[in-house]
Structure 1
Amino acid sequence: MIQFVGFNELLWFAMLLVNFLLILTIYRFAGRTGLFLWVPIATIVANIQVVKMVNLFGIEATLGNIVYASSFLVTDILSENYGREYSRKAVLFGFFSLFSFTLLMNLALWFVPSSEDFSQQSMQTIFSLMPRLTLASLCAYGLSQYHDILAFDFWRRRFPAAGHLWIRNNLSTMVSQGLDTVVFTGIAFYGVYPLPILLEICLSTYLLKWLVAMLDTPFIYIARSFYLKGKVTEAN
């Protein structure tokens, strides 16, 4: 019997709320600099969490969908309040942080551990996958994020009214999430899981990201309200 609301599901919604509140908090007190900071956090944390498989809403899924999908909320806030050039800058920060993190952690694995070390095997299990995950992430992240920026601008020109923010936010993000999911899953997990599991991961990942995109809509309105009412403190 499929269990749609259990501990994992409640925790998933709690994590969703925590992510959105953290984004609003850092935006409120650090402005666009805070949003720039969130993108590296999201890309790094998501690529660690993604190695963990969980059951959500009766389907097998990788963790990390929430925090990764939150980066699309950030770039949409930047596009809405500051223009797409700032969104592009945030994407570049995400690229650089993920590449740097992967390089430094794999260099750490090459050190010969002492006889007192207890972490090498655990680190090896997680971070030895990072080069492949990073390649998958960079390809998927670059394609999907730049599509999201262009799509948001496209829909903004066609639905420019303030009340249509939900349209440009959702239409841009949902297609971008689909591109991201197919590219990342194919590169990261092809040959790792049997094809039926791979397809289930792809479908479940997209559905969860789609759900995140739907639920982040009130928060982009709040972020715009902060900006229009002058409640955002821009970091110097």
Structure 2
Amino acid sequence: MNELYFVTQILFILLFSYGAFRLGKGALTTSVTVQALLANLFVLKQMTFFGLEVTCSDAFAIGSILSLNFLREYFGKESSKKAIQICCFFMIFFVAMSHMHLRFIPSSSDTAHLAYARLLTPAPRLLFASLGVFYLVQHLDIRLFGWISTLLPKSTFPMRSSISLVLSQFIDTVLFSFLGLWGLVAHVGHIIAISFLVKVCIILILGPFMAFFKRIQTDV
């Protein structure tokens, strides 16, 4: 049943990402930020997926990457860079406000504080791990792309891009799983395997998916 919910989640994220694209640059930037926050907030819930214990937030990588690619494709490279900066800014803001929210002393009739504490206490670790790994992997991806271009000078851009992304996202998945999730989830190995598989699928389908949306946009 979880597999069906997972596919449904992906479809909804793709549809809402396309809706953000139709609404314009501001909506896409918001989509990048909101989905990054949701991914970090929902990452603590675990489910059984094809017999493996995984988190429920990997699908948000699809929406975030898709939104960034829409920005890069239709609004320019600077727009995508700006979106990443805005995303990082509000992730830090979320960490600060989460910490402040937990500092308030609950009243004797309050029933929500323990739930908030359980949910938000790991948030700083998750978000700072995400930010640190993101910064490192982006620089690594640039270097990998250059090395692949040198080693395979006759390869096409999609091939070079796909190879560099697969390698960099593997490192991203491993680093974030250990830095952000170690001790918080039951099976880090399962998380790494499924998360990386999802990201590989994203990389493989992203090109055709972008072409499909571009064709729709041209027809409109």
Q: Considering the TM-score relative to the shorter chain, is it more than 0.5?
A: yes
Where do 5+ consecutive residues of structure 2 fail to align? 150-154
Q: Given the two structures, how large is their TM-score scaled by the length of structure 1?
A: 0.78
Q: Supply the AA of the counterpart residue of 1:21.
A: L
Where do 5+ consecutive residues of structure 1 fail to align? 1-6, 232-236
1:156-195 → structure 2 map (5 Å cutoff):
159=156, 167=159, 170-171=162-163, 173-192=165-184
Aligned: 1:12 with 2:6:
yes
Residue 76 of structure 1: aligned partner: 69
Q: For 1:121, which of 114, 127, 147 is the aligned residue?
A: 114
Q: Does the 8 Å CA contact 1:75/1:149 hold for their aligned counterparts?
A: no
CA 63–144 in structure 1, closer or farther in 2 if over 3 Å, else same: farther
CA 193–41 in structure 1, closer or farther in 2 if over 3 Å, else same: closer
Please give the alpha-carbon distance, in whole angstroms, between the structure 2 residues aligned to 1:152 and 1:94: 24
CA offset digits 1:55-79 (Å, max 9, x no partner)? 1122111121111342122222322
Considering only aligned residues, what root-mean-square deviation do their CA atoms show, in Å? 2.8
Residue 4 of structure 1: aligned partner: none
CA 143–73 in structure 1, closer or farther in 2 if over 3 Å, else same: farther
With CA pairs under 8 Å and 6+ residues apart, which has the higher RCO, 1 or 2? 1
1:200-219 → structure 2 map (5 Å cutoff):
200-219=190-209
1:83-102 → structure 2 map (5 Å cutoff):
83-102=76-95
Secondary structure in structure 2 of the residue aligned to 1:43:
helix
1:41-56 → structure 2 map (5 Å cutoff):
41-56=34-49
Secondary structure in structure 1 of the residue aligned to 2:125:
helix
CA 211–55 in structure 1, closer or farther in 2 if over 3 Å, else same: farther
% identity of equivalent residues: 27
Q: Supply the AA of the counterpart residue of 1:175.
A: L
Q: Given the two structures, how large is their TM-score scaled by the length of structure 2?
A: 0.84
CA offset digits 1:114-134 (Å, max 9, x no partner)? 122111111111100001101
Q: How far apart are 1:52 and its partner, in Å? A: 0.6
Q: How far apart are 1:188 and its partner, in Å? A: 1.0
Q: Does the 8 Å CA contact 1:174/1:213 hold for their aligned counterparts?
A: yes
CA offset digits 1:94-144 (Å, max 9, x no partner)? 111111111111100110111221111111111000011011111122233
Q: For 2:27, which of 34, 58, 83 is the aligned residue?
A: 34
After superposing on structure 2, the runs of 4+ consecutive aligned residues of structure 1 that deviate more than 6 Å are: 149-155
Residue 234 of structure 1: aligned partner: none
State which drifts further: 177-186 or 38-47: 177-186
Q: Does the 8 Å CA contact 1:79/1:152 hold for their aligned counterparts?
A: no
Secondary structure in structure 1 of the residue aligned to 2:48:
strand
CA 97–150 in structure 1, closer or farther in 2 if over 3 Å, else same: farther
Q: For 1:198, which of 165, 171, 188 is the aligned residue?
A: 188
Q: How far apart are 1:202 and its partner, in Å? A: 1.5
CA 186–38 in structure 1, closer or farther in 2 if over 3 Å, else same: same
Q: Supply the AA of the counterpart residue of 1:14.
A: T
Please give the alpha-carbon distance, in whole angstroms, between the structure 1 residues aligned to 2:73 and 2:142: 10
Q: How far apart are 1:86 and its partner, in Å? A: 1.9
Q: Does the 8 Å CA contact 1:99/1:134 hold for their aligned counterparts?
A: yes
CA 147–13 in structure 1, closer or farther in 2 if over 3 Å, else same: farther
